[in-house]
Each structure stands twice: as C-alpha cells, then as structure tokens.
Amino acid sequence: MTGQIQPRSAMPMARPGMPTASLATAQPTMTPREIWAVIQRWFKWIAFSAVIGLIIGTILYVIENRSRPRFTTVAFIHVLPQEEKDPTRIDDQAVNKDAQYQFRNTLASQLKSQGAWLQDFLRNPNIIGDPTTNPPKQPLAWYKQIKEGNWLNKKDDIIVRTDRYFKKHLSIMVDREANLIRMSLRCYGTSQKGDGVVILDEIGKIFQSKLKSDVDTKWFGYKSNLLDKRKKILDSLETGPLAKLKDLRTAYSFGNLSGINFRDYIEEKMANLEEQQAALQSEIARLKSDVEFLKNRAESDYDAVVREQIERDPISAQMRQQLNQLDVLLSSQLASFGENHRRVKETQDARARALNDLEDRQKQIGDIVRQSQYIQYRENLESRTVELNARKEQLEAAQKSHTELRNARAEYEQAETKRDELQKQFESYDTQIKKIETLMDNPDVTKIALGRPIPPLEKDWPRWYIHVPAGFVLGLMLGLGIAFLLELSNNLLRTPRDVMRHVTAPLLGMICDQQADDETDGVDLLQVVRQAPYSFMSDNYRQFRTNLR
C-alpha cells in the first residue's frame, strides 16, 4: 500500500448494514504517533532550519548592535497643584486627587500636541547649532540625521520629519498616584546617546516657557483691568474729595475743620463773648440796683466828713473788690458747673455775705460816700451798657461765622468719608495688583517643575537574549511548518489513514503494511491476530471482521 493510487468512483461493495459510527470516526486527522513520525522523517530539516534561524538571529543582533543601537532617555516633570495659591500665605492647600490627575492629563495632552512647540524647538541653537558662537556650536547628531532624511521622506519638510519621529519615538505618560509626567525618547546610534538628554531638556524648557507665556497673558489682562480701575479711582480722588478738602482748608484756614476733640478759635471766641456778656449782664444788673440805691441815698444830705470817709475807706474798697471777684468767680462757675453745683452755692453764699458786709460798712461810713458812689456807679452802668451792646454784636457775628464753619465742617466730613471709601478701593486694587505681580514673578506659576533628564547608562535594544532565542524559535517553527506542509501536500500512501483521503467509497477495512507496524516484526502474518493481538495490523483485521458482520 505504499504505491500511489488514482481516485476512483464508489464501488457497490458497501453493505447496507454497516454502522455509520465507523464512518464518522474515520476522518483524516493526524494522531500524535503520525505527528511524531513526521518529525522523525524531517528531523534533519527541522534542526537545520533551527540552526539557520539561530545564526540569522545572532547576525542581526551583531549588525543592529553595531550600526543602530537604541538608547532611551527618561525625564520627569513634577506637576504642582492646579489651584492658584495666594502668594502671601504659606499654609498648605487641600488637593483633589481626581482633579489633579485630570490636570496632569491636560498638561500631557498639551505636551503631546507638538505643533505648539515644535517650531520653537527646531529654532533652538542647542539643537540645530550656532556657527556665530566662539567656538561654533555644532548641531546634534540626531538633528543631522533628521535633516538628511532617507529615501522615504526626502521630499518632506524637516518639521514633518521631526513630527513623525516624535510621534513614533517620544512617549509621554501620566502617573495616576504620583504628581509626575514621564517623558521618554528613543534615539538610535552611538553618536546620539547623549542627544536625548539635550532634546528632552529643551522640550521641557520650551513647554514651560509656553505655559509661562500663557499665564502671563492671562494675568496681564487681569492686571491691566485692575490698573485701569485703580487709575479711575485715583483720578476721582484727585478731582473729587481731595480737591474739595483742599478748597475747604484754604477757605477756612482759621478753622479746625478736621478737629474732633479740640475746639477751634471761633468756639473759644464765642465762649469768651458769652462769658463776658454774662458777666456784663450781671454787672449791669448789679450796677442798676446800686445806682438806684445810691440815687436814693444821694438825694439826702450828707456832711463832708462822711463823704470823705466813704471815699477813703479802705475796707469798703477791699470789700467791693472782694465782691467783684466773687461775681466774676460766680459767673465763671455758673458757666462751667451750673446753678446747683456745690461750689456755685458756696460762692453765692460767700457773695451774699460779702454784700451784706459791704452794705453794713456803707451804712457806717456815711452818706457822702453814697453820693460819690452814685455818680461813679451811674457812669459805670452807662459804660457797661455800651460794652454789652458791643459784645452782643460781636457774639452775633461769631455765631454767624460759627454756623458757616459748621456747614463747612459737615462738607469736610462728607469729603473725608468719600475720600476714605475711595482710598479703601484704591488700596484693595493696589493689593490685588501686587499679588498678581508676585504671582507672575513666582517660579511655580507654570504649575510644573522640570526634572533633570536621566541619561541612558546602556542601550536598551538590541538584546541578545531576545534576538538569539527568537531566531532559533522562528527557524524551528519555519522548519516544522515546511515539514508539515510537504507532508500534508504529499499523496503517497504510507499509513492506513492515507487511504481515506483518496477513497470516496465506504470501506470494510484496511490492512497496513508490515513495515509500518513495528510490533509485527518476526511474527507470522497468518497468526498475527493471535501472536500480536495489540499490534496495529491485528487491530485492522479485527475491524475488518467486525464490518463483515
């Protein structure tokens, strides 16, 4: 059964009573024994393919390791809390982790949108070099490679090449727990080993400067608005309350407009005039009574000795002087303490006693004194009356001036109140402007802090323990695939199952060749069922007998 047979039509030898279960189980599938047989037949080819794959993997590792090793540079960006902090406060702020994680993702998205910083990056002299410096600064080997390009992107602009390179080799990741954004850049070639540090450092600086520019633009608008408001308030102060206060101080320089606990000179003048008027009124009243009294006394006749005695009497003069002092003191105390005060009553009692003493003394010295006193007191009464009228006119003028000053003081207080309100608003805006300036000068205003890129200590690709085993495995799989492909495409009959692939009619059974069954070696084929009951050929005979039944 090792020869090649031709396909033939179904023969009418199938028995109607044959069970269909045997047909269902007789599908052309490979058993582990057949698979192992295929591997044994193709072992040399499979081993050769595995060795070739091992050699190719080793060669590729050596070539890539020498010509194009890959170095990965890593840099971290520390992200600060998103909330704006008052620069005048030093306490810590509570941070929402979800909001902060979303803020980090937003910054990472801005960093990934390379159009925002790519052009500035390609104009950086640290990347493209600067021949004007001494010594001239050479461009990076990475930039030279991008500028030269290859046969696939010769027609592309350098910005397109750089953008394509970064999209493929620049990785930006956000850590959910730590406040970090991780940047990693893969560079190829030994000459580009240190270029990743410069590239990531410049990318971070450009991105930070972009954020600083955006923040300055935002806060500059706020600051300009506050400056305009502050200028308007300052103009209102200068043209409004301050000008009003200056005019009032100039017009009423003699008045204590801003005084709260002190009396101005008009009030002092009015008080003095009122005191003088009260004293004059008291004195006039006293003089009127004295004149009336002396008039009655003067109408009577007195001798010259008595009149002379009255005129020269020192005691009467002293008593009158004392009485005048008491009157003045009483008037002062009445103006200061009122009528019911103890000192006023004591003074009144003392005055009454002094007056009684004087009257008693006058009665003692005679009528001549009364006549002379009558004339004197009458003249004094007239002079005091004239003086009282003058004091009244002065008091009315002072009261009028005081009324004007009081109105001016009310206007002054209103202007001061308005000035204080505007000054508070001015100070509030000025404080906000200073806070914004402090915030703009704060190095943390961009909400990021750049970390120093970590230079690669060794290459991360290629790896011999990946290339060599991968070449071996791929070669082995290729050898196995070719071996099984050739086996499955071969139509030679080597096993009983090969018959089912070519025969379309139902079969009673198949007897394999003796060489295909190792257990039949040295056994009589006529007695194979009895001598080798567990052999494959014996099983074929039993299956054939079962199908005949």
13 pLDDT more than 70: no
Higher pLDDT among residues 41 and 442, named by residue: 41
What average pLDDT does range 244-256 have in this prediction? 71
Question: Tell me, what's the pLDDT at 474?
Answer: 93
Percent of the chain past pLDDT 70, that is, above it, reads 79
Question: Tell me, what's the pLDDT at 473?
Answer: 93
> What b/e string do you get for 476-499 counting C-beta neighbours within 10 Å, with b at 16 or more?
beebbeebeeebeeeeebbbbbbb
What average pLDDT does range 506-525 have in this prediction? 76
Question: Tell me, what's the pLDDT at 6?
Answer: 36
Higher pLDDT among residues 101 and 17, named by residue: 101
* The pair of three-digit structure tokens given for residue 136, joined into one six-digit string: 């001239």
Contact 357, 318 (CB under 8 A): no
Beta strands in 291-356 (DSSP E): none
- Dihedral sign of CA atoms 218, 220, 225, 230 in order: positive
Phi first, then psi: what are they for 72, rounded to 5°? -110, 120
420 pLDDT more than 80: yes
Tell me the DSSP string of 55-118: HHHHHHHHHHHHH--EEEEEEEEEEPPSS---TT--S-----HHHHHHHHHHHHHHHH-GGGTH
Alpha carbon distances (Å) from 76 to 183, 198, 269: 6, 14, 82
23-55 residue pLDDT tens: 434 445 667 877 887 888 889 998 999 999 999
- Residue 262's pLDDT band (cuts 50, 70, 90): very low
58 pLDDT more than 70: yes
In whole angstroms, what is the distance from residue 496 CA to residue 468 CA?
Answer: 41
371-417 residue pLDDT tens: 666 777 778 878 878 887 887 888 787 778 777 777 777 787 888 88
What average pLDDT does range 89-113 have in this prediction? 79
Question: Tell me, what's the pLDDT at 4?
Answer: 35
- Dihedral sign of CA atoms 311, 313, 319, 322 in order: positive
Question: Tell me, what's the pLDDT at 89?
Answer: 65
Residues near 280 by beta carbon (within 8 Å), at least 6 away in sequence? 384, 387, 388, 391
What average pLDDT does range 300-314 have in this prediction? 63
Question: Tell me, what's the pLDDT at 427?
Answer: 86
Question: Tell me, what's the pLDDT at 49?
Answer: 92
Percent of the chain past pLDDT 90, that is, above it, reads 5
2 pLDDT more than 70: no
| Bridging pattern class, strands 180-188 and 170-174 | antiparallel
* The pair of three-digit structure tokens given for residue 522, joined into one six-digit string: 């040295």
Alpha carbon distances (Å) from 384 to 278, 378, 387, 390, 393: 12, 10, 5, 10, 14
In whole angstroms, what is the distance from residue 211 CA to residue 120 CA?
Answer: 14
| Long-range pairs of 389-394 with CB within 8 A, sequence gap ≥ 24 | 391/273, 391/276, 391/277, 391/280, 392/277, 394/273
What average pLDDT does range 223-237 have in this prediction? 84
135-162 residue pLDDT tens: 777 888 888 888 887 766 666 778 888 8
164-192 residue pLDDT tens: 888 888 888 998 888 888 999 888 877 78
Question: Tell me, what's the pLDDT at 33?
Answer: 77
Question: Tell me, what's the pLDDT at 254?
Answer: 59
Q: How many residues does the chain have?
A: 549
Question: Tell me, what's the pLDDT at 261?
Answer: 45
* The pair of three-digit structure tokens given for residue 286, joined into one six-digit string: 């006293």
Predicted TM-score (pTM) of this structure: 0.54
